Structure 1
Amino acid sequence: MTSTAIGGNFELTDHFGKPVTQADHEGRFALIFFGFTHCKMVCPRALTRISEALDLLGGQAEAIRPLYITVDPERDTPEVMRAFLENGWPRFTGLTGSRADIDEVRTAFKVFATKVADPDDPEGYDMPHSSLAYLMDPQFQYRAHYPDTLDAARLADALRAELAKPPESTE
């Protein structure tokens, strides 16, 4: 893997408490968003936008597995992630792990996240983070990324275009 590659191998835990790796997500496209369950605005907005885009794809959405990887594993246990996702975004599979495991996958995807003091938060901190969604192909190789500025319709159009590309094409 070159230093510019995005993605890679990981060993995490899904929101049902089951160990998973990137190999468990091969065979379908994966649409990955990094965030955390205590996020007040960015994550709920992004998860809703991604869910709406998948709704717009209709049956084509079956080719995409949406994943939500935490940047705050200290608070985001499998149970917390399961409750968060099932109550608002049931299409997503949440992934968590040890701080070292999360930092490794964050680095592999070049995701920014840092802990900052927040006196308004019950635990006293917030986790500002980047807000890109990453599309991985069925072999879990990087295909594209999408900024948070795309609305659901434009995201659906971009995903539809990627799904239509031949498997060997990564342009």
Structure 2
Amino acid sequence: MQTSEEDVRRLLTAIGDDPFRPGLIETPARVVKANAEIFAHTGETTFTDYKLFEVATDTDMVVVADIPFYSMCEHHLLPFFGTVTVAYQPKQQVIGLSKIPRLVDWAARRPSVQEGLTTLIADELSRIVSAEGVAVHISARHMCMEMRGINRPGTTTTTQVTRGIFKTDAMLRQEFQQQVH
């Protein structure tokens, strides 16, 4: 069920504004269009937009760093945004590099919490590449902390998920951490 323009008008009325005043007349249509874009996940429970390539020789850690993302907090429907760094230790296959940012976008286009987003990206990449290990680090600002509640602008939250060899090999995990900072 999509948000309708009438739903937005009711919200504007509920917060004490007049949805028919000149500055707000076109707002309901804009909000409906924005929501369709922001929440553009397809309802798919797995990421399918990728291509795998065989690796001829041993490949060390693959890192894609500082991928920008935007998502919405599932508790307040307010934005959180920042960067994602993803690493994996391939076995026999690698994923096309451009597909990792697409995986991040796919995961972020649904209401979630940062911890869940971090886990979803790690789990999907692990499933797709059958890697020896996966690590995902997210650093983000949350408007639910900056605009309301505690009101702390600029506060950054970091989350990290490690799977496989990244969990057991301290040196590899440290090498990943150096890529993040």
The two structures have a TM-score, normalised by structure 2, of 0.25
Instruction: For CA contacts below 8 A with separation 6 or more, give which structure has more relative contact order.
Output: 1
Instruction: Return the structure number with greater strand share.
Output: 2
